[in-house]
Amino acid sequence: MFYETDPLLSLGSPSPHPENKVGPGTNPDGTGFVFLVGAGPGDPDLLTVKALRAIRTADAIVHDHLVASEILTLARPDAEIHFVGKKGGGFCTPQQATEELLLRLAKAGRTVVRLKGGDPFMFGRGGEEAQALAAAGVPFAVVPGVTSALAAAAYAGIPLTHRAHASSVVFLTGHEDPHKPGAAIRWEDYARLGATLCVYMGMKNLDCIAERLQAGGLDPDTPAAVIQSATTAGHRQLLSTLRRLPTDVHRAGFSAPAIIVIGEVAALARDLSWLGEAATAHHTHQPAPA
């Protein structure tokens, strides 16, 4: 499926009257259109202009747990709102059910926004949903969002690359059980890259991740940080070392959602954290003495 022009350009102004509606939802066969949209890291002000346009024109919004409630208020008053949340240890909508919902709404002629925290193609299962739509012949487009690792690091004062410290960045998911036989991620291999490591969904397995990186040769004193609820009113950050990070995180009561940053650049947060004393004094934690 290839579009010579941006599908959003044909949407026009939102209207509650179907007879006035223009855009992808008016395909000859009556099939609607699905936008896979990144909602960004949490702060509604970091939503892209294109994402905002898609949300305001959608007949239906299908959203995840981490999408800010303020963003949902941007939808049309008559838009259908469907929650398909996934939260570790709690309610989880099966992925197949989410894909079936998108197909059902689109085949009913709706313009659908599938709204995901961060970026839809960065650990958001957007690729799986795009495959399901393509296989069913449902037209779709992708609207990128600011992924959580980039925003968390920026708000914490951590440049993920720096000519003096890191020339590469790796994005990893820490959700997979590191002890699982045949695990996809060999943490020991990433210990030898000399890259900044950004770990999504890694809080549950932090102890094992830190242990395996050290077993692979990464210096235990490598700077490491955790940023919780980045860019939101609940933003907190902790700077430590790889060896101390699991203990310090536990003592400070940090939890998901959080991004873990491991590498020399993490230490720059001491000088580059820019949120201001009033915003950071109560949530920036220094490691306990070894």
Active-site residue (options: 43, 59, 64, 119): 64
Residue 86 is among the residues annotated as catalytic for this protein: yes
Whole-number Å distance between alpha carbons of 140 and 159: 34
3-state secondary structure of 119: coil
Locate all alpha helices (DSSP H) within the chain, ordered by sequence: 49-57, 69-72, 95-107, 126-135, 148-156, 187-190, 206-215, 245-252, 269-272, 277-280
Burial 243-282 (b: 16+ CB within 10 A, else e): bbbbebbeebebebbbbbbbbebbbbbeeebeeeeeebee
Beta bridge partners of 239: 225
Strands, sheet with 140-143, edge to edge from the N-terminal-most edge strand: 80-83, 60-63, 111-116, 33-38, 140-143
Task: State the Cα–Cα distance between residues 71 and 80, nearest whole angstrom.
Answer: 14
Is 64 annotated in the active site? yes
Catalytic residue, candidates 50, 86, 107, 204: 86
Cβ neighbour number for residue 93 with a 10 Å cutoff? 16
CA separation, residue 212 to residues 163, 217, 251, 255 (Å): 27, 9, 21, 21
Which residues are annotated as catalytic?
64, 86
